[in-house]
Structure 1
Amino acid sequence: MQLCGVCSEQIPKYRCPTCRIRYCSLGCFKKHKSEDSCEQVKECAAPVTTPLPDACQSSADQPWTVDDLLDEGSESDRVPLEKLRQLGESEALMTVLQNPHLRELLRTVDSAEDKAKAMKKAMKEPLFVEFADQCMKIIEPAEEGNEEAY
Structure 2
Amino acid sequence: MQLCGVCNDQIPKYRCPVCRVKYCSLGCFKKHKSDDSCQLVIDTARPATTVATAFPDVCQSSAEQPWTVDDLLDEDSQSDKVPLPRLQQLGESETLMSLLRNPHLRQLMLMVDSAQDKAQAMKKAMQEPLFVEFADQCLQIIEPTEKEAEEIDDGY
User: Structure 2 vs 1, CA of residues 87 and 104 (structure 1 numbering), >3 Å: closer, same or farther?
Assistant: same
Aligned 1:56-135 pairs, distance under 5 A: 60-135=63-138
1:131 corresponds to which letter in structure 2? F
Judge conservation of contact 2:4–2:10 (CA < 8 Å) in 1.
yes
Please list every run of 5 or more consecutive structure 2 residues that lacks an aligned counterpart in the other structure.
49-62, 149-156
User: How many residues are matched?
Assistant: 130
1:112 corresponds to which letter in structure 2? A
Q: Deviations 1:6-64 (Å, cap 9, x if unpaired)?
A: 9x86631x445456454668xx4xxx69xx86xx84346536217xxxxxxxxx52243
Q: In structure 1, how many angstroms separate the alpha carbons of the residues matched to 2:6 and 2:121?
A: 28
The TM-score with structure 1 as length reference comes to 0.65
Please list every run of 5 or more consecutive structure 1 residues that lacks an aligned counterpart in the other structure.
51-59, 146-150
Equivalent in 128, 137, 141 of residue 138 of structure 1: 141
Judge conservation of contact 2:18–2:41 (CA < 8 Å) in 1.
no
The TM-score with structure 2 as length reference comes to 0.63
Q: Secondary structure at the match of 1:124?
A: coil
1:83 corresponds to which letter in structure 2? R
User: Structure 2 vs 1, CA of residues 41 and 92 (structure 1 numbering), >3 Å: closer, same or farther?
Assistant: same
User: Structure 2 vs 1, CA of residues 47 and 106 (structure 1 numbering), >3 Å: closer, same or farther?
Assistant: farther
Q: Deviations 1:48-94 (Å, cap 9, x if unpaired)?
A: 217xxxxxxxxx52243443122222122110000000000000000
Comparing 130-139 and 105-114, the one that deviates more = 105-114
- 2:58 aligned residue: none
Judge conservation of contact 2:5–2:22 (CA < 8 Å) in 1.
yes
Q: CA deviation at 1:132?
A: 0.2
Q: Secondary structure at the match of 1:61?
A: coil
Q: Secondary structure at the match of 1:117?
A: helix
Root-mean-square deviation (Å):
3.5
Q: How high is the sequence identity, in percent, across the aligned residues?
A: 59
- 2:60 aligned residue: none
